[in-house]
């Protein structure tokens, strides 16, 4: 019994260490790169003129660590099932070879986007919002640290996806690791406040089915729109994409282009 408890404790602490490290590297890394090192050259890509106060950043960081603790606790479910021999999926997936390795990763990302869209939209119901999602929207002007700044209920909803996926779909553990890496990269960049996605000459997003930083920033500014995480297709299909999204994106891109043109044009004699 003691050995089992110690094994669970080690797994929980190991999960915490990995997730906290991943969160710190990308939240601090994105903040430092965009808000400090490249703040001047990327000024034209800043979506809003204002910056959130330092107090908000600190609260977001601490709340995100709490969310990671919940993720690690939920993760004990898959550990318990695997340890008991009731989670054959990882071994089955390994026997299916490298093609399934990458296919399962793509499917996991697509499925997570659907999970996020529908659960996200659900907790925006006014009967659930205050309990499940208010904390995240207190960051009206988001930052990279907003990524995991969740209420307890929202953290649980987000954390339960991986165990459910692992139970239902044979998936190797390294696939889950890559998925989590992709998830935190997109999450910190999506809350960064700088539009980093490329645009076409007409100002439209170069890859229109991917959510841009402007897409999610509009959700924080006006919460009734843009529920998608990685892709825009659910918002387009369900009519929840912000009507001014493409114009806002084009305006941010044009602002950068105007700044580049001004700095590169020769000075008058």
Residue 70 located in a structural domain: yes
User: 5 pLDDT exceeds 80?
Assistant: yes
- Confidence at residue 2, expressed as pLDDT on a 0 to 100 scale: 81
Residue 191 located in a structural domain: yes
User: 30 pLDDT exceeds 80?
Assistant: yes
Residue 151 located in a structural domain: yes
DSSP letters, 193-255, are SB--S-B-TTSSBSSTTB--HHHHHHHHHSTTS---SSBSHHHHHHT-S-TTHHHHHHHHHHH
- Confidence at residue 257, expressed as pLDDT on a 0 to 100 scale: 53
**Integer Cα distance of 196 and 217 in angstroms:** 12
- Confidence at residue 196, expressed as pLDDT on a 0 to 100 scale: 96
Residue 254 located in a structural domain: no
DSSP letters, 33-58, are IIIIITTTTTGGGBSSS----HHHHH
Q: How many domains does the chain have?
A: 1
Token pair of 220 as six digits:
């924080």
Q: What is the mean pLDDT of residues 257-266?
A: 46
Residue 265 located in a structural domain: no
**Integer Cα distance of 112 and 106 in angstroms:** 10
Mean pLDDT for the chain overall: 93
Q: What is the mean pLDDT of residues 26-45?
A: 95
- Confidence at residue 263, expressed as pLDDT on a 0 to 100 scale: 42
Token pair of 122 as six digits:
């659900």
pLDDT category of residue 47 using cuts at 50, 70 and 90: very high
Token pair of 244 as six digits:
């001014």
**Integer Cα distance of 90 and 175 in angstroms:** 10
Residue 193 located in a structural domain: yes
**Integer Cα distance of 229 and 101 in angstroms:** 23
Q: What is the pLDDT of residues 107-160, one digit of tens each?
A: 999 999 999 999 999 999 999 999 999 999 999 999 999 999 999 999 999 999
- Confidence at residue 256, expressed as pLDDT on a 0 to 100 scale: 58
Residue 185 located in a structural domain: yes
Q: What is the mean pLDDT of residues 34-45?
A: 94
**Integer Cα distance of 6 and 181 in angstroms:** 27
pLDDT category of residue 7 using cuts at 50, 70 and 90: confident
Q: What is the pLDDT of residues 158-172, one digit of tens each?
A: 999 999 999 999 999
Bigger pLDDT: 225 or 265?
A: 225
Residue 268 located in a structural domain: no
User: 46 pLDDT exceeds 60?
Assistant: yes
Q: Which domain does 156 fall in, by range?
A: 2-249
């Amino acid at each position: 019994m003691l050995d089992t408890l110690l094994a669970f404790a080690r797994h929980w602490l190991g999960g915490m260490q990995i997730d906290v490290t991943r969160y710190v590297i990308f939240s601090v890394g994105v903040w430092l790169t965009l808000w400090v090192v490249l703040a001047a050259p990327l000024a034209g890509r800043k979506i809003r003129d204002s910056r959130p106060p330092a107090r908000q950043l600190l609260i977001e960081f601490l709340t995100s660590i709490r969310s990671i603790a919940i993720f690690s606790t939920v993760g004990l479910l898959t550990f318990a099932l695997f340890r008991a021999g009731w989670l054959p999926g990882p071994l089955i997936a390994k026997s299916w070879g490298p093609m399934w390795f990458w296919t399962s990763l793509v499917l996991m990302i697509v499925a997570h986007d659907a999970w996020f869209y529908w659960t996200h939209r659900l907790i925006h119901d006014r009967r659930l919002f205050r309990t499940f999602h208010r904390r995240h929207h207190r960051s009206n002007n988001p930052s990279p640290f907003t990524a995991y700044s969740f209420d307890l209920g929202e953290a649980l909803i987000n954390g339960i996806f991986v165990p459910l996926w692992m139970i239902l779909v044979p998936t190797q553990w390294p696939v889950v690791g890559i998925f989590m890496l992709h998830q935190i990269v997109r999450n910190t960049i999506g809350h960064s406040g700088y539009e980093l996605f490329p645009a076409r000459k007409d100002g439209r997003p170069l890859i229109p089915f991917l959510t841009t930083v402007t897409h999610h920033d509009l959700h924080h500014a006006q919460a009734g729109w843009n529920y998608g995480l990685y892709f825009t297709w659910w918002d387009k299909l369900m009519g929840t994409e912000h009507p001014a999204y493409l114009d806002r994106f084009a305006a941010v891109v044009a602002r950068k282009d105007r700044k580049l043109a001004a700095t590169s044009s020769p000075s008058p004699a």
